[in-house]
Chains A and B, each alone.
Chain A
């Protein structure tokens, strides 16, 4: 197997080009890179056989970029996303997020990374059913030990951004699929992370609702968010298998196959 050439400067400039598979090279840190992976692998052992879920991916993602991972089931999209989120540990290689290597972080630092640097949206929403919408969105604030007094305003603000400012007291079971995903997005964004990771956010939704959700995510990506560091865009990495949506909303599409980058398309 060969690796695609994924130097960000050229990759970002060569829009809609399918890059030829080349041997992997070490890529120097690019200015403005939100995420950088170097020869990232994640292998699972299943009896005597080895499953190469992620197999030597080197990639740079610029800050503020909307990047979509496309690929068939089992191509390694979700495994890659888990590695970027710090939920999983690579077999080899490295992940740099905002200049910090996840592999060098302690367990506690990784937790903080998931709590404050990134937000995650799942295909199946993963809202806690016994909690109200407000409590679900408040959860990352509790984990961040944000003072209780300032939480309601933060929750309300996040829910208003997704158009659910009036549904605070509802439980997830009382909401439609689209609404639940909006709540999940609000929960992911309530700590004002600089990176949003979305794992098939439209997978459980009909096409119209899926469009709405992607419009919402696109809206989060485009207008700058006010963070503690100043005005910065939110980098979005989305796993999807719907090419049309990816082509419509993503600035760059990375197609994976067998745990490797098959091609990178700049939109």
Chain B
């Protein structure tokens, strides 16, 4: 029989015992609804947490640091290959053939994958190369320094951190008074609420009154050494190219900035490493122009002496990627480039595993209801076989094959499964919606902003209907085969 005829006959048969079949279908619908409601809640909670973390920029960023050992000459050098080559570098200034042989021998003893990785300094070239990696949106350094905010006679010593323009979408700025920086190079500053209150207090103002006010940021700035400075002469005296000195003066510098925003006392997260509290935030481009003294400057002075002082080195760079899913690939590329990547995604794998287990458990509990409903299908169809015994005999007498009869009962189970699945999705959606409304009502009562804790993705709708159909067909397996095996003569005799 053709599938259209089968479906038509199955639907017609189901209409015959309408109440019983409706109740069976309702049982399936309740089973599917419990599955959908539970999984949508699990998915919703997972989405909520992912969304929050992603908006904080914690999942779509990779923190890139230089490897602890790298070739002081700036040339390609194997990781952890420090001993013999350090000697070579000091004595010859360049890697020679013997050093290369040693490395090759060492590499043969190491993990081949690791042996291909080289260490390189994290400089402007590296920043450009990182920005060209696939799926990378932006690469930026983070400047974090101590500054003195001066507003009139009052001062406030605090940590100042640079913020890229992309931080405007960050959750950390939620509830900010005022606005974000108007342009990448704008001489503007965002104050943390405590700092703003401290400065405003000295002028008998409220913290909010600081918006639009100009203040002065004093900081320790770097100034390159003049060519004729005593230090320069000292460098010349060193007379050894390897130990050529490099350095800068630290001078007190200042810049005038306009307060454009005030954020809550909580941390503003601007990247994977931005966990410390800062009292003020300035645009990244402005911070780069300032030439502030950084924590790694001492190390850089030593390093630059060997490199010949060819440019700025970064303590770390933050690489922002398109999607969290791109993080592992970018981490691999970064590792291949000779840097040490780090992302929070590594740390949250366990969290994701936990959610996967939670979803699985919720799915199992939901499926239990569906399993009970499937017993209803078996019961209904077995009853139908008893009631329609004679009809099955007639069908066989008219030329229905065993396969036709089996398919007919399968189709009846399938129609119940499809209707139950579709109804269950609708019911599950309604239950989830009710849970959502109830939760948000409770959150509002607790003065907490409402959250979307419930999501019904398309894959869940499709999977629930397919699962319901599969369970129903499996439940119809026994009755269908029993109906197909009926002896037509016996069936025709049945009254």
Contact = CB atoms under 8 A, between A and B. Distances in A.
A142 B15 CA distance: 19
Interface in A212-262: none
A85 B399 contact: no
Given A108-B403, A145-B1, 17 more contacts: A82-B489, A87-B396, A88-B489, A107-B402, A108-B401, A112-B399, A114-B396, A120-B397, A122-B492, A126-B390, A126-B393, A126-B397, A128-B394, A142-B5, A143-B404, A145-B5, A191-B399
A191 B400 CA distance: 13
Contacts of A88: 488-489
Interface of B: 1-2, 4-5, 9, 12-13, 15-16, 390-391, 393-404, 488-489, 492
Nearest to A197: B397
Shortest 4 CB-CB distances between A and B: which pairs?
A115-B399, A111-B401, A142-B5, A143-B399
Nearest to A141: B5
B393 to A, nearest CB: 8
Contact of A107 (B9, B13, B401): B401
Interface in A142-187: 142-145, 148, 187
Interface in A125-143: 126, 128, 130-131, 139-140, 142-143
Interface in A79-137: 82, 85, 87-88, 107-108, 111-112, 114-116, 120, 122, 126, 128, 130-131
A122 to B, nearest CB: 7
A88 B493 CA distance: 13
A128 B391 CA distance: 7
Given A122-B492, A126-B394, A126-B492, A116 B1 contact: no
A221 B226 CA distance: 124
A85 B403 contact: no
A139 B398 contact: yes
Contacts of A143: 1, 395, 398-400, 404
Nearest to A151: B5
B12 A85 contact: no
B397 A85 contact: yes
A140 B488 contact: no
B396 A111 contact: yes
A114 B399 CA distance: 5
Contacts of B4: 148
Contacts of A85: 397
A116 B492 contact: no
A218 B489 CA distance: 26
Contacts of B390: 126
A140 B401 contact: no
A85 B397 CA distance: 8
A264 B69 CA distance: 112
